[in-house]
Amino acid sequence: MTTSQTRAAWLFLAPSVLVLGTFVVYPIGRALYLSFTDYSLLRPARWIGTKNYSAIVSDPAARNAIKNTLLYAAVTTIASVALALIIALLLNQRFPFRSIARSAVFIPFIVSLSIVSIAWSYLLDPDIGLLTYWGSKVGISAGQGFLVNPNLAMVSVIVVGIWKYLGFYVVMYLAALQSIPRDLQEAAVMDGAGPVRRFFNVTWPLLSNQTMLVAIIATITNVQAFDQIFVLTQGGPFFRTETLVVMIYRVGFQNLQFGYAAALSYVLVLILMIVSLVQVAYFRRKAVQY
């Protein structure tokens, strides 16, 4: 590449590099610096080393938030991936109004999560909520309500999280199912394999690559869950649904402890990296080429 071509390339890249540097690289670096300070709006930043990270280890609220984050992410990811696969297998069959059914499954994904959460808050309202009313008719009592019951609040936000993103994962699985060579299915039928055997011996192994992608995307999304939890419970009751992102918001924007909040955000980044690397290592061994 000549000098003029290099100069032209950098000229075209300059706007993107400027935007990324201003809104991505600088905030990441600034947050890392602040995580080693006691910065708040009430006083200038003062370097305190790793005291914020040491405080996280001994902070019961931080441990509770990490536990809630892992619980929410694990249950929501596993349930979402399993349900998405089942629904995709059903929607991959031929039946009347299949296109309408596929659209209906995908619609929740394109709606704002905040709007969805407000709608669910009315559905789960102890006085006027339809789900609360129907639950009482079949013997499911939520006491003062699903969202204020310490034993049901986490279940409620998990259900909303699954419902919101399920359609997107279904579409991803549908694309993978339709890319599986029909010859393999036909060969399995000729060998006398039934539907169950064909699924476990042909379909499921060939979906391993897509399952890895769906699981990683779902995990990253669920570890960062904020909107529906903040709208529905604000981390309550009694911090039972407070995840790391919700705690970061509370510590940073309500308590104005930006240094501590920055340290919590990097703990979140570390959790995301570890979980994603474990998933990649696990699914890479099961990757299939066809």
pLDDT at position 56 over 90 = yes
Q: What is the mean pLDDT of the chain?
A: 87
Confirm whether 269 is domain-assigned: yes
Copy the structure tokens of residue 42.
């009430």
Confirm whether 49 is domain-assigned: no
At 95-115, the pLDDT tens digits run 888 889 988 999 989 988 888
Domain CATH code at residue 267 = 1.10.3720.10
Query: How many domains is the chain partitioned into structurally?
Result: 1
Whole-prediction pTM? 0.88
CA distances in angstroms from 34 to 3, 26, 43, 61, 247, listed in the order given: 40, 12, 13, 20, 17
pLDDT at position 84 over 80 = yes
Q: What is the pLDDT of residue 288?
A: 60
Residue 258 belongs to domain spanning: 59-285
Confirm whether 196 is domain-assigned: yes
pLDDT band at 125 (very low <50, low <70, confident <90, very high): confident
- 18-31 average pLDDT score: 91
Confirm whether 179 is domain-assigned: yes
The percent of residues in the chain predicted with pLDDT above 70, rounded, is 95
Confirm whether 45 is domain-assigned: no
Confirm whether 240 is domain-assigned: yes
- 24-32 average pLDDT score: 92
CA distances in angstroms from 24 to 9, 28, 196, listed in the order given: 21, 6, 47
